[in-house]
Chain A
Amino acid sequence: GESVGLHLPTLSVQEGDNSIINCAYSNSASDYFIWYKQESGKGPQFIIDIRSNMDKRQGQRVTVLLNKTVKHLSLQIAATQPGDSAVYYCAEKRGSKLTFGKGITLSVRP
């Protein structure tokens, strides 16, 4: 079927390397910033979130950084694996409203 990542920016990394996926956001009033992962043919899946009053949050093999000064959000994936290949979306939640950015395709080279 058609790839959901078609025409999206692509980040290509070597298996085992660290990946950094970046996102610029526009709404300074968002309460939370969130990263989702979407594999081909599936719905997006939650990875990690960060509250707007925090700078950094770590999960299992992932770290999210928030720079409110320049309205920048990043997702760092340690020791990237083939299973990390997917489209990654940054999302914002303000109250009950959850909105998504355009997405970035992560391609992992063996």
Chain B
Amino acid sequence: NAGVTQTPKFRILKIGQSMTLQCAQDMNHNYMYWYRQDPGMGLKLIYYSVGAGITDKGEVPNGYNVSRSTTEDFPLRLELAAPSQTSVYFCASSYEQKNTEAFFGQGTRLTVV
């Protein structure tokens, strides 16, 4: 199993551009999560999903959108990139509600200039 795969690893965007951060998992996990990590601020939950077709807002959802059309994929969309969205983004997945072990991808480092 590849686990959780995020692409791209690095990206530089100009203000106002849009992009999609890809996340795929091959562990047949129901739950998937998107976090952003800023220096000194820890991990903040952006959006999460408990299964295909179901998504929920996390702590910092503004400026982002997600979709979950399949169990495997959970893309994160930035429509109008802003400098405040410069961060490292992590995708994670876990099997079910009682399972506390989430598996993380390697992260995507995004810079908005």
Instruction: Kindly specify which of B38-46, B66-74, B75-83 makes contact with the partner chain.
Output: B38-46
B interface residue count range (under 10 / 10 to 19 / 20 to 34 / 35 or more): 20 to 34
**Cβ–Cβ < 8 Å partners of B41 in chain A:** 102
Q: What residue of chain A has the Cβ atom nearest to residue B4's Cβ?
A: A43
B residues near A, CB below 8 A?
4, 31, 33, 35, 37, 39-45, 48, 50, 56, 58-59, 88, 90, 92, 94, 97, 100-107, 109
B93 CB, nearest partner CB in chain A, Å: 11
B92: A residues at CB distance < 8 A:
43-44, 98
Partner of B58, one of A2, A49, A97, A103: A97
Is there an interface contact between A95 and B97, defined as CB atoms closer than 8 Å?
yes
Q: Which residues of A contact B (CB under 8 A)?
A: 1-4, 6-8, 32, 34, 41-46, 49, 89, 93, 95-103
By DSSP majority rule, is chain B's interface helix, strand, loop, or mixed?
A: strand
Can you list 23 A-B contacts (CB < 8 A)?
A4-B37, A34-B100, A41-B106, A42-B106, A43-B4, A43-B105, A43-B106, A44-B104, A45-B104, A46-B102, A49-B100, A89-B42, A89-B43, A96-B31, A96-B48, A96-B97, A97-B45, A98-B102, A99-B45, A99-B58, A99-B59, A100-B44, A102-B42
